[in-house]
């Protein structure tokens, strides 16, 4: 069902010196299914993170934030099948107990472990199953298991998501590898679904933080499947300092910019992969709003279109019912909006010009665009120089089916 998306092959996901990954089956949702991933960072690594802005954030998010503030990160522990969200005090204790189990296997302090969970909300995490599986994950830690890790973190995803990029910085070959999961409850807000990106570059904490924030804002914070912000979103960027480049300490340096570019590209491809694999998706839709007074208002218009069930069902039906796009623009709430200046395009086809239906538009032109799997909606506001883009998918029977049957 995913739109123009294929899973990476094992050889495409390059090892990152200083990162090892271990996989195990804890039997959280089904038996003998990889659902537990352990990631080890070599000593001297830096690690940045952004988390969900949902006030009801999950227990592992609370614990991960506390641990990150207290100590250098040495291990990430991720489980799929159970989000450990809405689980109260018992859920917090469960997350802490899982960190403790890693600490015992690895002989480290438990606050050097960051826990992450994804899956169903409101059920208690089976701590004993987790604790029983952690030694196996620890035992098989290896640098060439990004492919297995990408599978181990999946929930309703139909395909694993990951890629690698390489660039030269400071005369050294730098590798960036990232994996992500996510398919529903997707409307990240200053955060993302679960995504783990690592580089072997040497980068100090402040520069790494700024690269991650900027990259997330241009990728995971620009997608929506259903407008629902998860309780468990997290995006982690790790830098192991194994590549031999001189430590990057200035965000404005050529080296920091080069690293940002490649990390932003990896983030954007992963973010778009989540939309392409959106629950029930049959179309990948870019909503690009131009000539706004601010990026904020461009996003406001773009998200109003991207969240409209009527627009999304019309795309599912390949019906060029552009009146629904127009109605969404009209209700987006932009202040002092001058309708008579607005133009709207579906790919290269103009459907609205100067606020009126384009004179030479024909239904056949609209149909030609709607029959495609990838479509760009472009809205030109003609009131400024700002621009922004969000990515979304259509709304199908299968979205309802997947979410109506999620717990059965």
Q: How far is the CB of 166 from a copy of itself (least distance, A)?
A: 37
Options 4, 6, 12, 53; binder of a copy of itself; rule CB under 8 A: 53
- Should residue 54 be labelled a site residue for a copy of itself when binding is judged by CB under 8 A? yes
Torsion of CA 262, 221, 76, 274, to 10 degrees: -80
Options 12, 250, 309, 341; binder of a copy of itself; rule CB under 8 A: 309
DSSP state of 319: -
Q: H/E element holding 133?
A: helix 127-139
- Should residue 324 be labelled a site residue for a copy of itself when binding is judged by CB under 8 A? yes
Question: Could you tell me which stretch among 13-21, 138-146, 243-251, 350-358 binds a copy of itself (CB under 8 A)?
Answer: 350-358
Instruction: Compute the residue count for the chain.
Output: 408
- Should residue 341 be labelled a site residue for a copy of itself when binding is judged by CB under 8 A? no
Q: Kindly identify the residues of this chain, within the stretch 56-115, that bind a copy of itself according to CB under 8 A.
A: 56-57, 83, 85-89
Q: How far is the CB of 184 from a copy of itself (least distance, A)?
A: 7
Q: How far is the CB of 317 from a copy of itself (least distance, A)?
A: 4
Q: Residue 96 CA to chain centroid, in angstroms?
A: 25
> Smallest Cα–Cα separation from 238: which of 192, 176, 191?
176
Question: Could you tell me which stretch among 126-134, 136-144, 264-272, 318-326 binds a copy of itself (CB under 8 A)?
Answer: 318-326
Catalytic option among 156, 192, 231, 392: 192
- Should residue 190 be labelled a site residue for a copy of itself when binding is judged by CB under 8 A? no
Q: Tokens 């949702």 identify what position?
A: 29
156 is catalytic: no
- Should residue 139 be labelled a site residue for a copy of itself when binding is judged by CB under 8 A? no
Q: What is the CA radius of gyration of the chain?
A: 22
Q: Tokens 């010009």 identify what position?
A: 353
Options 192, 230, 245, 272; binder of a copy of itself; rule CB under 8 A: 230
How far apart (Å, rounded) are the C-alpha atoms in residues 164 and 11? 10
Nearer to a copy of itself, 124 or 218 (CB): 124
> Which residues are 79's β-sheet partners?
36, 117
- Should residue 403 be labelled a site residue for a copy of itself when binding is judged by CB under 8 A? yes
Nearer to a copy of itself, 57 or 134 (CB): 57
Q: Kindly identify the residues of this chain, within the stretch 118-137, that bind a copy of itself according to CB under 8 A.
A: 120-122
How far apart (Å, rounded) are the C-alpha atoms in residues 310 and 317? 11
- Should residue 331 be labelled a site residue for a copy of itself when binding is judged by CB under 8 A? yes
Question: Could you tell me which stretch among 130-138, 139-147, 229-237, 289-297 binds a copy of itself (CB under 8 A)?
Answer: 229-237
How far apart (Å, rounded) are the C-alpha atoms in residues 364 and 320? 9
Q: How far is the CB of 336 from a copy of itself (least distance, A)?
A: 10
Nearer to a copy of itself, 116 or 316 (CB): 316
DSSP state of 294: S
Alpha-helical regions (H) of 220-358 = 254-276, 295-307, 309-316, 323-330
Nearer to a copy of itself, 26 or 85 (CB): 85
The first and second tokens of residue 253, run together, are 């340096």
How far apart (Å, rounded) are the C-alpha atoms in residues 246 and 203? 8
Is residue 288 within 8 Å of residue 376, measured between CB atoms? yes
Q: Give the burial class of 5: count Cβ atoms within 10 A of its Cβ; 0-12 exposed, 13-18 middle, 19 or more buried.
A: middle
- Write out the residues near a copy of itself by the rule CB under 8 A: 53-57, 83, 85-89, 120-122, 184-185, 189, 226-231, 307-310, 313-314, 316-317, 319, 321-324, 326-331, 337, 339, 352, 355-357, 395-397, 399-401, 403-408
């Amino acid at each position: 069902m995913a739109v123009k998306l294929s899973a990476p092959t094992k050889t495409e996901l390059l090892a990152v010196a200083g990162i090892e990954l271990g996989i195990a089956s804890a039997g959280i949702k089904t038996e003998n299914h990889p659902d537990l991933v352990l990631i080890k960072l070599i000593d001297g690594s830096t690690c940045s993170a952004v988390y969900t802005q949902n006030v009801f954030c999950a227990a592992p998010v609370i614990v991960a934030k506390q641990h990150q503030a207290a100590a250098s990160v040495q291990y990430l522990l991720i489980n799929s099948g159970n989000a450990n969200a809405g689980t109260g005090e018992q859920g917090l204790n469960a997350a802490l107990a899982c960190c403790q189990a890693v600490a015992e296997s690895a002989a480290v302090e438990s606050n050097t472990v960051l826990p992450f969970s994804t899956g169903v909300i409101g059920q208690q995490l089976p701590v004993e199953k987790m604790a029983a599986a952690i030694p196996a994950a620890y035992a098989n830690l290896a640098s060439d298991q990004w492919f297995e890790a990408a599978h181990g973190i999946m929930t309703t995803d139909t395909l694993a998501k990951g890629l690698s990029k390489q660039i030269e910085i400071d005369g050294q070959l730098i590798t960036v590898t990232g994996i992500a999961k996510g398919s529903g409850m997707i409307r990240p807000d200053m955060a993302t679904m679960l995504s783990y990106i690592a580089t072997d570059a040497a980068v100090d904490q402040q520069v790494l933080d700024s690269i991650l924030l900027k990259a997330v804002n241009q990728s995971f914070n620009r997608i929506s499947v259903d407008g629902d912000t998860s309780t468990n979103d997290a995006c982690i960027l790790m830098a192991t300092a194994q590549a031999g480049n001189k430590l990057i300490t200035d965000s404005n340096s050529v080296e920091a910019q080069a690293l940002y570019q490649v990390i932003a590209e990896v983030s954007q491809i992963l973010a778009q992969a989540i939309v392409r694999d959106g629950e029930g998706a049959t179309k990948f839709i870019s909503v690009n709003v131009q000539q706004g007074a601010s990026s904020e208002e461009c996003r406001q218009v773009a998200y109003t279109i991207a969240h409209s069930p009527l627009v999304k069902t019309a795309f599912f039906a390949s019906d060029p019912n552009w009146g629904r796009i127009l109605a969404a623009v009209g209700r987006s709430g932009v202040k002092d909006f001058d309708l008579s200046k607005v133009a709207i395009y579906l790919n290269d086809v103009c459907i609205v010009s100067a606020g009126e239906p384009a004179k030479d538009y024909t239904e056949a032109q609209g149909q030609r665009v709607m029959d495609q799997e990838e479509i760009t909606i472009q809205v030109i506001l003609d009131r400024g120089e700002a621009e922004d883009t969000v990515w979304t998918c259509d709304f199908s029977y299968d979205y309802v089916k997947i979410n109506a049957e999620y717990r059965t």
